[in-house]
Amino acid sequence: MDYASFDIVVVPFPYADRLAEKRRPALVVSAPALQKSYGLVWLMMITSADNPAWDGDVAISDLKLAGLPAPSVVRPAKIATVDATRILRRIGKLAAKDARRVKDFLRGSLAG
């Protein structure tokens, strides 16, 4: 399956202290070309809005569109590269206004 920028997906994340994984939502921030060329996808962490806030967190304004059951935020400071085959499924899409805020964070965080 091909994933587009700002799709919200579910991926298994390993626990640090035991041999188990937990399924978590994440935001796709790479272009489809990365997946087509290398089989890789860049993801940003999505976490509960109840967790302590970090600078740069982006509140998800449309939970229904995102496919999320509870108030959540994108945490742009936490980005990972995963093999696309590790993604379990697509559950939604980030609203355009939230995607703009994530893009602004990326622009401000890149070297150059």
Summarize pLDDT for 15-42 with one digit per residue, the tens. 767 777 889 999 999 999 999 999 999 9
Residue with tokens 């890149």: 110
* DSSP per-residue codes, 3-16: --TTEEEEEEEE-S
Q: Find out whether 83 and 63 touch, Cβ atoms under 8 Å.
A: no
Summarize pLDDT for 51-77 with one digit per residue, the tens. 999 999 999 999 999 999 999 999 999
* pLDDT at res. 110: 83
- Tell whether pTM > 0.85: yes
Q: Identify whether 51 is part of a domain.
A: yes
* pLDDT at res. 111: 75
* pLDDT at res. 74: 98
Q: Identify whether 74 is part of a domain.
A: yes
Q: Identify whether 23 is part of a domain.
A: yes
Q: Residue 45 is part of a domain; what is its CATH number?
A: 2.30.30.110
Q: Identify whether 1 is part of a domain.
A: no
Residue 112 has pLDDT above 80, yes or no: no
Beta-strand pair 21-28/58-59: unpaired
Q: Identify whether 2 is part of a domain.
A: no
Q: How far apart are CA 61 and CA 52, in angstroms?
A: 18
Q: How far apart are CA 104 and CA 38, in angstroms?
A: 26
Tell me the residue range of the domain where 58 lies. 7-107
Q: Total domain count for the chain?
A: 1
